[in-house]
Every structure is written in structure tokens, then in C-alpha cells.
């Protein structure tokens, strides 16, 4: 006697979930070989599952992936730090540094860097190929300003920890004279394994200003999208990108870029003010 | 300071790398749980930081994805759902006996294979809505099974419930989805209303059905 549809229909779901006992599996397969209705039921169930899969499947954005990878590495470093503290090994600014270092790791992971470890220690000098990518970096600066990631540090004293990763002093002291208040800072990947520091400020409590500090050998200052303005005797590159004002300048061998909702003049002044006091 | 000259790690930590392989899956499930891409990102981020803290508790060789989903589910419950389970829906009677009844082979074919592929986005949209309207525990069970292909046992571990409960949630979730899609198809004129049940079939007793299923688990 063949198994009735009613019995088989109860097994179809488990059959499709691949969780049936071998004997029940045989029962279902034998029945569906001859029963169109049950075959249709199986195909309908399958089609709906495919539909659910298509509907649910999605991909996390690259920036979210980088952020998550960063948090995980930061957590690992923080755990190591806790473990070391517990065993009495002295540490120094390890958390800030850990966070900075994790970005380096993320950059390596994300960009599948082709450089070997030795090469990575040498920043790329500005040349024809680096100038091509400069607009892309300026664009990236604007994106980071428009949609900032949460800061890694909020205390100005911790900025020192960024320096080994940026390769230049990260001390935009002149900004305080404008009444700019530091909200926080983080390290961000720029080209290969190099990093820039991003410092977020508020100005008069109503303007958000992002300041990028970088090694000008990594981000050469020959921007094509921006125009040159001379303030005193110093050239400052200014322009508007997607509604944001951007200004970049080099002072004493350190590169600075500002993204803000201010005007060109104010941005240019801030870019110069960011340079460390002599 | 010696810490400054320390070389950067050349390779990511293996546990982190393996965990990140499941990021899309975690994010997809998280999107369906929270119904908001922003909340979904927060939930995944919290989950992975917790996973890093608890990494010693992960037993190598077991399903890492299932382990991560378990942390995700617990984090979700603690963060987003303090009000307890939706008992009324979980333990109440089935929404509609039709969902467990019979639809004719022709209707099923029509539903599965609409003549026009242009209808597909409509069906996808409908699945999306139907999924979001499912009680949360049904939705998670269905997604973990149909999308992430976890076994009943793994889903039971993720959701912290017996295998029988997983089967019941899956069954009821899928029936609700089917019914919704069937109604939609009728509405669109793809399937005839009130598909004629075959003579021998009759309505299935859901209680008996579950008892049998639990027997399997």
C-alpha cells in the first residue's frame, strides 16, 4: 500500500530541511515519484525558500566591514592590555596605540597590500602616480567628514599615540585660538599602509570641522580639483566638494586638510592655523 | 619607547578573520531581526565585540557561524526586546487553518511559477513584507534554516529552546509565509481563489502533526 498524501505532506518540510530518517526519506521519494500534487508541494516549498533567501541575503558595506574589523582588533588589544595589567607588566598609552595599530591591520586586510613589511615602513614619495589618486583621497576626506566614524580617542593628550602611524607630529595646537573644541580623533587608512589622523572639532558649538594630519610625501599637495589661494606667502588649496568646504596646506613638512561647512577663507585660515606653533 | 618600533601585525588574527567571513550572514539576519540597517550594524558590532571577549569559550571544530548567531540572538534579546516573548502569538491557535489545508496542484504551480517574470519583484516584495510581519521567533527560525542552512539542533542552540520548538516555529512561520503569498497570488489573479482540496486530504490536525514532529526530534 502506498503512503497517503496526508502522511507525506507532513514530512515534506523535514524532507526539505534534510532532517528525515532514512526510512522516511525513502517513503517520501517513493510517493513523490508518482504523486504530482506532492511534487508540486515540494517545488512550491523550494521556490518560497529560494525567495526568502534572495530577500534576506545582503552584503555588509566595505566601510562597515572595516569598522567592525577595527573594533574586533581593538577589543583584542584591550583584552591583552587587561591581561598585562593583571600580571603587572607596565603599559604605556597602550589603548590609544592599540586602536591606532588596529587600523594599520585593517588597512592591510582591506587593501590586500602588495608591499612587503619592509616596504611598508617607507612612505611612498609623491610622484606622478600618487598625484593621480590625490583627488580620490580628498574625496575620501570629504566622505569621512560627511559620515564620520566614531572617534578612537577623545583626549588631546592621546594624540601623541597617533604619531608613529601618521609619521608626522599630530599637534594642531593653533586651533584652540579659534575656539575650536576637540571632539575626538581617529587614524584612517590612506594609500597602501599609510595613515592619516582625523581630528574632529566643533567651532562655536555650531560648526563641525574635520582636520586631517598626514605626511605630505604620502598625500602630495597638487590637487587638481582645488584651486590655489596664497595667504601670506603660503599656498593653500581650497575648493568645494559635495557642498563641503575643503582646504589643504603644508606647513613645516606636515600636511593638513580641513573639511567643514565654513567658507573657503575660513577653511584656509584654519588649515594654516592647524600648523604647530613655532 | 620600544612599543613604537614594534612591527605592525602582518596578518589578521585567525579567529578574527574566520569570524569576519560570517559578517554578511550576521548582518543579513540582523537586518531581518531589527528591521533597520542602522540598528543591524550596531547589533552586529556589539555581537562581534562580545564574541572577541568570549572567544575562549568557542570550541574549535564546532559551527562558528551558529555560535556567533547565538551571541547575536542573546544580544538582540537583551538590547532590543525587554518585553519578553510574544506569548500570544507563540502559543495561541494557528492563524488560519487554510494555511495547513490543501491547495490544488495547479494553484501551487501557478504560485511557484508566475507566467511573467515581471511579477518576481512583486513576489520578492511580498516575501519581504510577510517575513517582517512574522513573529520574531518564527522569523529567526525561518531565516536561520532557509537562508543560513543551520540544522534543527543548531537553531535550537542559537535560540535556546528544544528542537521540537524549533520545528514548530519553522512550520508555523513557513505556513504563514505561504498563506500570505498564496493570498497575494489570488489577489494578483495568478492563482484561483479557494483551491479545491483533493478528496482524500482533509485538514491536518496541527496538534497531531506537532506530536509526530517532536517524535522525530
Name the residue ranges covered by the structural domains of chain A: 5-56, 125-273
Tell me whether residues B201 and A5 touch, CB distance under 8 A. yes
Percent of chain B with pLDDT over 90: 43
| B31 Cβ contact list (under 8 Å, min separation 6) | A56, A58, B37, B40
Nearest to B106 by CA among B195, B6, B208, B205: B195
Q: Which of the two residues, B101 and A110, has the higher pLDDT score?
A: B101
Other CB atoms within 10 Å distance of the CB of residue A246: 27
Q: Where are the alpha helices (DSSP H) in chain B?
A: 2-5, 14-20, 23-34, 37-53, 64-80, 87-91, 105-112, 120-133, 136-146, 152-159, 163-188, 206-216
> Coil, strand or helix: which one is B19?
helix
If pLDDT is split at 50, 70 and 90, which confidence band does B67 have?
A: very high
Average pLDDT over residues A15-31: 92
Q: State the smallest CA–CA distance between residue B66 and chain A in angstroms.
A: 16
Q: Which of A217, A273, A215 is nearest to A247 (CA)?
A: A273
Q: What is the pLDDT of residue A72?
A: 87
Cell of A194: 599609510
Q: How far is CA B10 from CA A114, A256, B70, B150, in A?
A: 12, 29, 31, 34
Whether pLDDT at B196 is above 60? no
Most confidently modeled range among A84-88, A165-169, B67-71, B82-86? B67-71
- A153-175 pLDDT, tens per residue? 888 888 888 888 888 888 777 77
- Chain B hits for A92, CB-CB cut-off 8 Å, are 1, 3
Q: What count of other Cβ atoms lies within 10 Å of the Cβ of residue B203?
A: 12
Q: Is B209 within 8 Å of chain A by CB?
A: yes
Non-local CB neighbours of A98 within 8 Å, separated by 6+ positions: A73, A74, A77, A78, A80, A81
Indicate the pTM of the whole model: 0.55
Q: What is the pLDDT of residue B169?
A: 94
Q: Which CATH number fits domain B11-80: 3.40.1410.10, 3.40.50.300, 1.10.1740.10, 3.20.20.450?
A: 1.10.1740.10
- For A201-248, write each residue's pLDDT tens digit: 888 878 889 999 888 777 766 656 778 877 777 778 888 888 889 888
* Residue B198 in this model has a pLDDT that exceeds 60: no
Lowest mean pLDDT among A28-42, A64-78, B155-169: A64-78
Q: With CB atoms and an 8 Å threshold, state whether A72 touches B16.
A: yes
With cut-offs at 50, 70 and 90, classify the pLDDT of residue A34.
very high
Average confidence score pLDDT of chain B: 76
Scan for cell 583626549, then name that residue: A155
pLDDT higher than 60, residue A268:
yes
Q: Give the distance from residue A107's alpha carbon to the nearest chain B alpha carbon, in angstroms.
A: 10
CATH code assigned to B88-216: 1.10.10.10
Domain A125-273 has what CATH class? alpha beta
Distance from CA of A65 to the nearest CA of B (A): 8
Domain ranges of chain B: 11-80, 88-216
Q: What is the pLDDT of residue A221?
A: 67
Question: Who wins on pLDDT, B192 or B97?
Answer: B192
Minimum mean pLDDT range among A122-126, A254-258, B134-138 = A122-126
- Residue A16 makes CB contacts below 8 A (sequence gap 6+) with A42, A45, A46, A49
Chain B CB within 8 Å of residue A6 CB: yes
Count of all residues that appear for chain A in the document = 278
Would the pLDDT of A57 be above 50? yes
DSSP result, A163-208: HHHHSS----GGGGGGTEEEEEEEEEEETTTEEEEEEEEEETTTEE
Amino acid at each position: 500500500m502506498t503512503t497517503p498524501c496526508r502522511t507525506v505532506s507532513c514530512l515534506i518540510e523535514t524532507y526539505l530541511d534534510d532532517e528525515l530518517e532514512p526510512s522516511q526519506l525513502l517513503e517520501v521519494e517513493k510517493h513523490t515519484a508518482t504523486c504530482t500534487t506532492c511534487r508540486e508541494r515540494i517545488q512550491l516549498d523550494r521556490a518560497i525558500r529560494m525567495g526568502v533567501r534572495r530577500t534576506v541575503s545582503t552584503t555588509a558595506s566595505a566601510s562597515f566591514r572595516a569598522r567592525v574589523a577595527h573594533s574586533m582588533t581593538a577589543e583584542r588589544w584591550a583584552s591583552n592590555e587587561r591581561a598585562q595589567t593583571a600580571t603587572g607588566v607596565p603599559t604605556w598609552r597602550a589603548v590609544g596605540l592599540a586602536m591606532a595599530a588596529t587600523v594599520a591591520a585593517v588597512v592591510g586586510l582591506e587593501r590586500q597590500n602588495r608591499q612587503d613589511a619592509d616596504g611598508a615602513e617607507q612612505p611612498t614619495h609623491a610622484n606622478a602616480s600618487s598625484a593621480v589618486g590625490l583627488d580620490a583621497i580628498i574625496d575620501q576626506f570629504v566622505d569621512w567628514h560627511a559620515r564620520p566614524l566614531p572617534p578612537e580617542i577623545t583626549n588631546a593628550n592621546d594624540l601623541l599615540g597617533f604619531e608613529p602611524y601618521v609619521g608626522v607630529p599630530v599637534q594642531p595646537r593653533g586651533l584652540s585660538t579659534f575656539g575650536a573644541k576637540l571632539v575626538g580623533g581617529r587614524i584612517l587608512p590612506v594609500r597602501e599602509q599609510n595613515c592619516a589622523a582625523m581630528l574632529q572639532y566643533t567651532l562655536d558649538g555650531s560648526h563641525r570641522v574635520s582636520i586631517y594630519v598626514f605626511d605630505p610625501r604620502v598625500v602630495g599637495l597638487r590637487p587638481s580639483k582645488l584651486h590655489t589661494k596664497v595667504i601670506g606667502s603660503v599656498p593653500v588649496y581650497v575648493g568645494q566638494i559635495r557642498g563641503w568646504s575643503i582646504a589643504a596646506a603644508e606647513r613645516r613638512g606636515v600636511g593638513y586638510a580641513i573639511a567643514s561647512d565654513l567658507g573657503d577663507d575660513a577653511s584656509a585660515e584654519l588649515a594654516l592655523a592647524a600648523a604647530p606653533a613655532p | 619607547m620600544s612599543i613604537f618600533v614594534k612591527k605592525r601585525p602582518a596578518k589578521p588574527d585567525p579567529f578574527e578573520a574566520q569570524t569576519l567571513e560570517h559578517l554578511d550572514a550576521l548582518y543579513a539576519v540582523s537586518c531581518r531581526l531589527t528591521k533597520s540597517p542602522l540598528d543591524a550594524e550596531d547589533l552586529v558590532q556589539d555581537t562581534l565585540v562580545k564574541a572577541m571577549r568570549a572567544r575562549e569559550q568557542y570550541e574549535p571544530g564546532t559551527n562558528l557561524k551558529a555560535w556567533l548567531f547565538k551571541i547575536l540572538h542573546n544580544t538582540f534579546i537583551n538590547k532590543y526586546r525587554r518585553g519578553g516573548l510574544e506569548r500570544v502569538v507563540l502559543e495561541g491557535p494557528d492563524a488560519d487553518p487554510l494555511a495547513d489545508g490543501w491547495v490544488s496542484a495547479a494553484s501551487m504551480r501557478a504560485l511557484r511559477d508566475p507566467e511573467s517574470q515581471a511579477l518576481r519583484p512583486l513576489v520578492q516584495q511580498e516575501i519581504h513584507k510577510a517575513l517582517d510581519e512574522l513573529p520574531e521567533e518564527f522569523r529567526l527560525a525561518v531565516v536561520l534554516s532557509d537562508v543560513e542552512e543551520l540544522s534543527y539542533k543548531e537553531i535550537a542552540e542559537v535560540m535556546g529552546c528544544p528542537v521540537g520548538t524549533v520545528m514548530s516555529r519553522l512550520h508555523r512561520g513557513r505556513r504563514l509565509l505561504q498563506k500570505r503569498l498564496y493570498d497575494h497570488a489570488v489577489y494578483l489573479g495568478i492563482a484561483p481563489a479557494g483551491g479545491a482540496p483533493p478528496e482524500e486530504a482533509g485538514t491536518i490536525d496541527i496538534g497531531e502533526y506537532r506530536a509526530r514532529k517532536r517524535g522525530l526530534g
